[in-house]
Amino acid sequence: MMKKYRVGYTAGVFDMFHIGHLNLLRNSRQYCDSLIVGVNSDMLVQEYKSKRPVISENDRLAIVAAIKYVDKALLVDTLDKILAWQRLGFDAIFIGDDWKDNPRWIKTKVDLATVGVDVIFLPYTKGISSTQEREFVDRRIGE
């Protein structure tokens, strides 16, 4: 069993909510007393993914907030995890292990270590993503 944290944090788009999202939230919650989830705003998603989510930010926030593993959900407008930490005071951040070798997350891990925050890479649910779901729907509509 991993170390138990007081406050954990994870963030994401959570568009077209699927089992991978649920697995991330469930797995994150088992390692902390309280889980805060940041839902990336529509504007933020447009900035870094150059596309709009299918589901609006307010609906995505309502969905995430209703999940029993989530103690608090809020809209976020930055990918900067130090800013998130300053605002929320978590002691661990959870992310799928598919990001483990990503340069942004390598830097994030180093930056958060300076303030005593652990980055925990949890198993990624293979075979599912909102991007895949969107592409499937787009193909079906085009048929």
How does pLDDT run across 66-89, given as a tens digit for each residue?
Answer: 999 999 999 999 999 999 999 999
Tell me: the pLDDT tens digits for 110-143?
A: 999 999 999 999 998 876 665 655 565 555 566 6
Say what the pLDDT of residue 126 is. Answer: 74
Contact 105, 95 (CB under 8 A): yes
Angle of helix 103-113 relative to helix 81-88, nearest 10 degrees, comes to 40
* Domains with residue ranges and CATH for the chain: 5-142 (3.40.50.620)
State the average pLDDT for the chain. Answer: 90
Model pTM score: 0.88
State the amino acid at position 11 in one-letter form.
Answer: A
- Cα separation, 13 vs 110, in Å, equals 23
Pairing of strands 32-40, 72-76: parallel
